Structure 1
Amino acid sequence: MRHARLPIVVVGSGVAGLATALAAAPAPVRLLCRAHDGSGSASALAQGGIAAAMDPADDPAAHAADTLLAGAHHNDVAMVQWLTREAPGVVAWLQAQGVRFDCDADGRLQLGREGGHGAARIVHAGGDASGAALVMALRARAQAAPHVQWRGGVEVDALLLRGGCVAGVRTLDACGRQAEIEAAAVVLATGGIGALFARTSNPPGADGVGLALGLAAGAMPRDLEFVQFHPTALDVAGQCLPLVTEALRGAGARLLDAGGQRLMAGLHPLGDLAPRDVVARRVWQAQREGTRVWLDASGLAIDWAASFPTVLAACLAHGIDPRRAAMPVTPAAHFHMGGLAVDADGRTSVPGLYAVGEVACNGVHGANRLASNSLLEAVACGRRLGGVLAGLGAHRSEHAASRWIERGAGLQAEPLAALRELLWQAAGPVREASRLRDAWRVCAAMADAGWQARLAKSLLRAARLRRRSLGAHCREDHGCPV
């Protein structure tokens, strides 16, 4: 008897999910996302661009060396070498999808420089609106692709486990209606965990929901303790803060203390362009000493409307004109290097379950992500995973025992806000044993109340077990260079 081919279910509409869905052709794909129009991903907010060795004086080996140095050599070396070799091809593929990268008057790609890079190798689209440009182009392609069926306004709250393999998902819409979708494979492309912290550059949807679901299904985690804190989010009221892109420091902006002195002077050979963990800890330390930190770009000859329209608009919306005055900045949870452990093709330890993008950990970022490697990884690994899924078999056994693995209910607003503050204080840019222990105990007591507490408990456990400082994981009780 001939069976219809089951679809590949991709959960998430950021760059990683979109690239996976497009590359899976001609296999049928169901693309599921929380927002009806696919908005709200961290990808769309990304101000950095794509890191790629495009200059004749640059090469993938140098890009790889910078990636390994930023990652404290905790990276998977083979994955780093593969990714940096793929990078120029990723840029070309994105151009073919309709992404218009910024070029000079002669039509050559403009290459910017960001923290941790030894060369100018960042391609941008629309200045600091690169993420939005990528999402817009890839979304248009996915919505026009005959093999992709888009469904927004739903959340995946359970995975179907059949015979030890993930074989489908259960969705929930805003009206509480449930639907079940059988699948040849399920891909989690749900983003990171920044929204579990009291201060973050991520959107509210980056709350670790896919990570929590994968862990509930028994998928192995990897490096959960490694959370990158961007050193320069706009220091204004609220949880989800506007990002002030690192490219501004690449263009000459300087970090200053309350007295107008250079904050990074003498602390690192790269100064204001030191790796993000170094800069974030210095800003954190200054705040703990009672001083506010400022980023001053007011004296620079910058075409703000062309190069930094996102930063300009965000600042003006909060009554700050960066063309004339310094901007108050703060560290903010920005990127999760850890996640569901996957191999080079995106396979988790649970058959039938795949992960890609920030929810996954293939080791490429190590203990600290190099600037502008995340969109690169999302596209490159999404294309690679899509190619693998395109050749999957059409049908699974219907006779094996089945059960639903549920993520479970979430915390109510007040305890969730308390959890975010707890993680910010205990697992922020600088950590210490007793704070981690006490926070873990609080989360353990809350674990039955919501999945966010269980996920936070897992992160805190990983942070407690790694007793030495490494990359973005700074233990001030074990040699962290605060």
Structure 2
Amino acid sequence: MSSLPGLLAARDPGWTEWVDVIVVGSGIAGLTAALRLRDQVERIAVVTKDVLAAGSTQWAQGGIAAALGPEDTPEQHEVDTLVAGAGACDAEAVRVLVTEGPDAVQELIDWGANFDKDPEGNLSLTREGGHHRDRIAHANGDATGAEIQRALIGAVKRAPEILVFEHAMVVDLVTAEDGGVAGLTIHVMGEGDADGVGLVRARAVVLASGGLGQVFSQTTNPAVSTADGMAIALRAGARLRDLEFVQFHPTVMYLGPDSRGQQPLISEAVRGEGAVLVDWEGRRFMQGVHELADLAPRDIVSKAIMKRMLETGRPHMWLDARHLGRDFWERRFPTILASCESHGIDPAIDLIPVAPACHYASGGVATDLWGRSSVPGLYATGEVACSGVHGANRLASNSLLEGLVFSRRIAQVLPTELRPLSQPVAQSGSVGLVAGDVRKEIQEIMTASAGVLRSAEGLSRAIEALAKIADTPAAAIDPDAWETTNLLTISAALAEAARRREETRGSHWREDFPDRDDARFAGHIDVVLTGADGDRSAARSDTVSVTFTAAPATDGGAS
């Protein structure tokens, strides 16, 4: 791989601010961290690239998983999570998730989130793929994320001590002499007095900036999901983990071969209520593939759809939910119904065309059980982080729960670990930028060679093509170029990690290594940036370095 920038090219900061803690991102993970920390530190700020409600949380349809039902237990939730993770979960992290999850959801309710109730006034729980119990709490039928986001934003607005920077993009972390966090540079895009690039000095930074969905041509992620948090952490010397485990949601509405960007998601909860997958002949094809058939874990369903597409030469498969009826659709899935109708489909009488698309990054900034990264003073939570709970394939509706639980844990330890407000040192390492207009090319390379189906030949081809793009500098400095460079950086790291993992496990599917290989790959692929001499001590560096950390399988060796 050609050199990647150790820093993004940017103008010198024109203004300065200081806080104790700065939280990057305004979804469930970021706002939970901010709300939990606001009474424990003197000055706290939230930075978000758009408005507070623009991240991935608001798009979550299905719900939030926790052992909340009378017949459910954290132990059963743990088993389902480990099985879905295909031997790559951190068992201790999973135990934290499932045992602390119910209390975390209750706190969300206390902050004002209104979940759907049954006629007796209890939480209305449903089931999704990979779950053996009804444990998915939902709101307004299929608008759970929007309700959670509404409640959290309301709580933040009632907390004037939280300083909010909207329309602000983080450019890079700045570090102190010891390599730890000293703050970050941000670009406020034409809003308010603090315009342009500025320096926010901070004693700690919490990354909660979401995922990498825009790496691929088709995704369920919003436009802001350009891997910024992962890229700035990598450039600052942090270790990334499990980037190759990108979950492709099996039932994304197919809009045609030329569709790009965010695509309409058909929630797994629709299958949880009885919808089934069929091919062009009207035949169901999930029976016999897995004991849960159409409700198998997402990687299994995505692979089954792709295999059927390859076998038949068809561009997509179909979801049949006609038997649910119009009244049920209007009551249970009003948001999805409106989305379908906007594309000329009435799911009460029509089949829905579906195909897999990029949905969730199970990997990210490697953290411990308290959200600490490998860089002192840098914490990560939510989709930008790799806490170890998702393994090779996230269990449905565990993502919102992870953001809640691990943000709460960060808030428990961070106030006692605050660093001094350090003076930033001059940053070393290469400085660069690629033009924003190469974004489509990056996405097409990654979709073709590092998408659902991968091989050594395709991944090598992708790495070579990305290297050529890296050698083409941008003519202008602007947010589009920053985002595109972040996408390039994480694309290169992802492709290298995927090439290193010579097996098929969970959401990582290698056609040249079709079997799971616990003897060689029961562990993690870590990615760092190193200088030409392999030194990481300077933090700012420019060459992808991939290492393998061995670990025992956590699901009894089940495939």
Considering the TM-score relative to the shorter chain, is it more than 0.5? Answer: yes
Matches of 1:299 and 1:56, distance apart in 2: 29
Amino acid aligned to 2:281 = G
Q: Cα offset for 1:393? A: 3.7
1:142-188 CA deviation, whole Å, 9 max, x = no partner? Answer: 12113311110110102111111111111112247111111010111
Question: Comparing 389-398 with 147-156, which one deviates more in the overlay?
Answer: 389-398
1:33 and 1:151 in contact (8 A); partners too: yes
The residue that corresponds to 2:269 in the other structure is: 247
Q: Cα offset for 1:424? A: 1.1
- 1:22 equivalenced with 2:46 (yes/no): no
Q: Cα offset for 1:408? A: 5.0
Question: Which of 260, 279, 300 does residue 324 from structure 2 map onto?
Answer: 300
1:216 and 1:405 in contact (8 A); partners too: no
Q: Cα offset for 1:363? A: 0.7
Q: Cα offset for 1:138? A: 0.5
- 1:203 equivalenced with 2:217 (yes/no): no
Q: Please give the residue correspondences for 1:393-408 in structure 2 after superposition, counting only pairs within 5 Å.
A: 393=418, 395-398=420-423, 401-403=425-427, 408=432
Q: Please give the residue correspondences for 1:165-180 in structure 2 after superposition, counting only pairs within 5 Å.
A: 165-175=180-190, 177-180=196-199
Amino acid aligned to 2:436 = Q
Question: Which of 465, 469, 474 does residue 500 from structure 2 map onto?
Answer: 465
Question: Which of 3, 21, 39 does residue 8 from structure 1 map onto?
Answer: 21
Matches of 2:499 and 2:505, distance apart in 1: 13
1:10 and 1:17 in contact (8 A); partners too: yes
Q: Please give the residue correspondences for 1:31-46 in structure 2 after superposition, counting only pairs within 5 Å.
A: 31-35=46-50, 37-46=51-60
Aligned in 2, Cα 1:111/1:311: closer, same or farther, shift over 3 Å? Answer: same
Matches of 2:18 and 2:57, distance apart in 1: 31
The residue that corresponds to 1:281 in the other structure is: 303
- 1:123 equivalenced with 2:137 (yes/no): yes
Amino acid aligned to 2:79 = A
Aligned in 2, Cα 1:245/1:215: closer, same or farther, shift over 3 Å? Answer: same
The residue that corresponds to 1:416 in the other structure is: 439
1:5-58 CA deviation, whole Å, 9 max, x = no partner? Answer: 8420101111100011011122121100011x3132111101121111112211
The residue that corresponds to 2:206 in the other structure is: 187
Aligned in 2, Cα 1:173/1:69: closer, same or farther, shift over 3 Å? Answer: same
The residue that corresponds to 2:291 in the other structure is: 269
Q: Cα offset for 1:282? A: 1.4
Matches of 1:410 and 1:188, distance apart in 2: 24
Aligned in 2, Cα 1:419/1:342: closer, same or farther, shift over 3 Å? Answer: same
1:58 and 1:119 in contact (8 A); partners too: yes
1:383-406 CA deviation, whole Å, 9 max, x = no partner? Answer: 1112322334473344x7443889
Amino acid aligned to 2:448 = Q
3-state secondary structure, aligned to 1:228: strand
Q: TM-score, normalised by structure 1?
A: 0.95
Aligned in 2, Cα 1:277/1:71: closer, same or farther, shift over 3 Å? Answer: same
Amino acid aligned to 2:459 = L
2:85 and 2:390 in contact (8 A); partners too: yes
1:162 and 1:403 in contact (8 A); partners too: no
Mark the runs of 5 or more structure 1 residues left unpaired by the alignment. Answer: none
Matches of 2:270 and 2:209, distance apart in 1: 29
Matches of 1:391 and 1:230, distance apart in 2: 39
2:214 and 2:487 in contact (8 A); partners too: no
Q: Cα offset for 1:238? A: 3.3
Matches of 1:278 and 1:212, distance apart in 2: 29
1:325-350 CA deviation, whole Å, 9 max, x = no partner? Answer: 11101101000011011111111111
Q: Please give the residue correspondences for 1:46-445 in structure 2 after superposition, counting only pairs within 5 Å.
A: 46-163=60-177, 164-175=179-190, 177-236=196-255, 237-288=259-310, 289-291=312-314, 292-301=316-325, 303-393=328-418, 395-398=420-423, 401-403=425-427, 408-413=432-437, 415-445=438-468
1:7 and 1:29 in contact (8 A); partners too: yes
Aligned in 2, Cα 1:407/1:452: closer, same or farther, shift over 3 Å? Answer: farther
2:18 and 2:201 in contact (8 A); partners too: no
Aligned in 2, Cα 1:105/1:404: closer, same or farther, shift over 3 Å? Answer: farther
1:50 and 1:375 in contact (8 A); partners too: yes
1:336 and 1:358 in contact (8 A); partners too: yes
3-state secondary structure, aligned to 1:103: coil
Matches of 2:508 and 2:21, distance apart in 1: 36
1:72 and 1:368 in contact (8 A); partners too: yes
Q: TM-score, normalised by structure 2?
A: 0.82
Aligned in 2, Cα 1:295/1:135: closer, same or farther, shift over 3 Å? Answer: same
Matches of 2:336 and 2:430, distance apart in 1: 40
1:160 and 1:405 in contact (8 A); partners too: no
Sequence identity of aligned pairs in percent? 42
1:413-437 CA deviation, whole Å, 9 max, x = no partner? Answer: 2x21111111111111111110011
Q: How many residues align?
A: 476
